[in-house]
Structure 1
Amino acid sequence: MSKVNVQHVNYQNLGWQSAADLYLPPDFDETKQYPAIVSTHPIGSCKEQTSGNIYAKALAEAGYVALAFDASFQGESGGSPRFIEDPSIRTSDIRFAIDYLVTLPYVDPERIGAIGVCGGGGYTIHAAITDHRIKALTSITGVNFGRLIREGFSEFDPVSALQAMGKQRTAEAQGAERHVIDYLPASVEEGRANGITDRDVLEATDYYKSARGQQPNGATSGLFSFNSAAMGWDAFLNAESLLTQPLLVVTGDKPGAFGAYRDSWEIYGRAASKDKQIFVAEGYSHYDLYDKSEPVALAMAEILPFFERHL
């Protein structure tokens, strides 16, 4: 039985190159045309983690061409300074991924879909609002990073956070060292020792900081002084009028501080899509849907029929 073929590719972004893994179906035939899906990784993640080795791989096994890419300024993609997490550029990255796919003779440009995990789910929604080359989309435990940074990441004091970011950016412009923050503790044990009890933070640490999900480019890092770009951003802006494509929202029912459960229900309600559905994986959390076999299988049992209908 033939296996999924993964090709490492590079393509032009704004002023730098994007790096991506292109997952091709078993028995791939370059003389045929295939539906294609862009897979967008979470904040602080990389293409080798859940967006690639779990979801893009599963989609390719089902007969899709799937592209999992590294965000600009992160992973193997270009751009400087490193570790910028700018929602506008993250959304633009998805558009450039589509630009690349439509140049491939074996991709049907009228059958392009998109998925995203965690923050990548929010970015996928935002991209689809204004890029209707995306014919159908799925948000997997999606998070609106703008809301998250205004709330939990700024300790519910966004104005003070903005002032601190501004001071740091001024200092860096004048020659100070870049301040790169790690969104997570070094280990679950360290997190608990520091009083962290939230499910999402501890489960994220278990995924990103252990052999379970750790990858060299899964840095879980952000450039503090540039995080101000997310403060005024809303992943769901204009969804009520412009998000008309078929939409599938997948979430677990165990909420945590990152807010995927809340955000999933919000976009499900706000989207103008006539064909929209939400699937709640009962008994599972945000990070269970990253790589654990049972919840991922439940998600894929919804995702594959959804894309079969629309692509």
Structure 2
Amino acid sequence: MSIKTIIAIGLLVIGTTTVAQTSKTTEVNMEKLGLTQEWDKTFPQSDKVLHSKVTFRNRYGITLAADMYVPRNVGGKLAAIAVSGPFGAVKEQSSGLYAQALAERGFLTIAFDPSFTGESGGQPRNIASPDLNTEDFSAAVDYLVTHNDVDAERIGILGICGWGGFAINAAANDTRIKATIASTMYDIGRCTANGYNDKMTADERYKMREQLNAQRTVDARNGTYQRNVMNPQPADDAPQFMKDYYDYYKTERGYHPRSINSGLGWNMTSTLAFLNAPILAYSDEIRSAVMVIHGEKAHSRYMGEDAFKKLKGDNKHLLIVPGAVHTDLYDKIDIIPFDRIEQFYKEYLK
């Protein structure tokens, strides 16, 4: 037996062993989730689509929970869209509304809970990560490309609020994504590190790091994770956008008990992950289609417009919705430009 033959056999054995070990590890890491079966969304159920619960894993072995919406009486391989956001919300809120509306327009859609939140798996609970949350979008694509009713070459994503930034980051990294929409977009990394309108100084940022790392010490000693308070009752002189958040997350309009923004709160040290992690570093290299949608009067509009300025190519679009504030694009179906969204996806997922 020649040396080349021995080497070839050895590599084959190593490769086979690696695959076997990987499969075994993945199986062990699969988490069984207890999913709510009743309709518990903040929006009414449509009779134009079929709804079901699905689960899938991300690349780190975390099991994600999603609602799947399939248009009735439509056959063949469908274009598909994965939806998530806003940052700190759950699939029973805004993302589910978008997903159901797009399914009514002929797309197979899923709205998923990010890692560590909602009905999805992962421990500890209520944390976020720019890497993991971007990966969650690609994990949703993994699920869709292997679905029997989906055309693997016609897959898009849609991110709302902070998930608009993750969507753009995912599009920069995952070439399977053919069309991306960022609606009422937040750049979470930029806003965390620089504050609103980039007014935070280096000294203020350093003080934030001191406070967060001191909290890490407290958490380590206590064996628990301190959570922050999300969207408390705003004072009369609070900025309007804080009142808008309260109006959505803490009232019947958008409240959901599994939503971090409705009351559960983030683990305080979760913020550390975003201080040193700009997520749009390579957005100028996206070759697929991207649309950025923002409200004319949104306090976050500058983040979406700046993100759009960095995009290159003639398949990039910016849509400013007249008179709309940030949260109008969460759930106000008479303001969310679904006709334009449908047109965009049909143009680039064909």
Same fold (TM over 0.5): yes
1:107 has 2:150 as partner: yes
Task: Give 1:2 deviation, angstroms.
Answer: 5.3
Who is 1:184 aligned against?
231
Residues 15 and 170 from structure 1, CA distance in 2 versus in 1: closer, same or farther, beyond 3 angstroms?
A: farther
Q: Indicate if the aligned counterparts of 2:99 and 2:109 stay in contact, CA closer than 8 A.
A: yes
Residues 3 and 301 from structure 1, CA distance in 2 versus in 1: closer, same or farther, beyond 3 angstroms?
A: closer
Who is 2:35 aligned against?
none
Task: State the 4+ residue runs in structure 1 displaced beyond 4 angstroms.
Answer: none
Task: Give 1:11 deviation, angstroms.
Answer: 1.4
1:173 has 2:220 as partner: yes
Q: Deviations over 1:219-265 (max 9, x none)?
A: 2121111210011122321112x212111111001132xx2x00111
1:9 has 2:9 as partner: no
Who is 1:309 aligned against?
347
Q: Indicate if the aligned counterparts of 2:78 and 2:107 stay in contact, CA closer than 8 A.
A: yes
Q: Deviations over 1:72-122 (max 9, x none)?
A: 000000111111011111101111111111111111110000111100111
Task: Give 1:155 deviation, angstroms.
Answer: 8.3
Counterpart-to-counterpart distance in 2, 1:144 and 1:182: 21
- Per the normalisation by structure 1, the TM-score is 0.91
Task: Give 1:143 deviation, angstroms.
Answer: 0.5
Task: Give 1:215 deviation, angstroms.
Answer: 1.3
Counterpart-to-counterpart distance in 2, 1:40 and 1:2: 22
Gap runs ≥5 in structure 1: none
Counterpart-to-counterpart distance in 1, 2:125 and 2:171: 26
Aligned residue pair count: 296
Gap runs ≥5 in structure 2: 1-45
Letter in 2 for 1:217: R
Task: Give 1:62 deviation, angstroms.
Answer: 0.6
Q: Deviations over 1:129-176 (max 9, x none)?
A: 010111011110111001111233898322111111112112222334
Who is 1:77 aligned against?
120
Who is 1:246 aligned against?
289
Which fold has the larger relative contact order, with Cα–Cα distance below 8 Å and residues 6 or more apart in sequence? 1
Q: Indicate if the aligned counterparts of 2:298 and 2:324 stay in contact, CA closer than 8 A.
A: no
Q: Indicate if the aligned counterparts of 2:230 and 2:260 stay in contact, CA closer than 8 A.
A: no
Match of 1:232 among 276, 280, 293: 276
Counterpart-to-counterpart distance in 2, 1:12 and 1:279: 33
Residues 74 and 172 from structure 1, CA distance in 2 versus in 1: closer, same or farther, beyond 3 angstroms?
A: same
Counterpart-to-counterpart distance in 2, 1:42 and 1:255: 15
Counterpart-to-counterpart distance in 2, 1:300 and 1:223: 34
Match of 1:291 among 303, 310, 331: 331
Counterpart-to-counterpart distance in 2, 1:105 and 1:167: 50
Report % sequence identity.
33
Higher strand share: 1
Who is 1:125 aligned against?
168
SS of the equivalent of 2:323 reads strand
Counterpart-to-counterpart distance in 2, 1:138 and 1:16: 25
Counterpart-to-counterpart distance in 2, 1:39 and 1:184: 23
Counterpart-to-counterpart distance in 2, 1:228 and 1:266: 23
Task: Give 1:127 deviation, angstroms.
Answer: 0.5
Who is 2:13 aligned against?
none
Counterpart-to-counterpart distance in 2, 1:290 and 1:172: 34
Counterpart-to-counterpart distance in 2, 1:136 and 1:285: 25
Root mean square deviation of aligned Cα? 1.7
Match of 1:211 among 252, 255, 275: 252
SS of the equivalent of 1:192 reads coil
SS of the equivalent of 2:54 reads strand
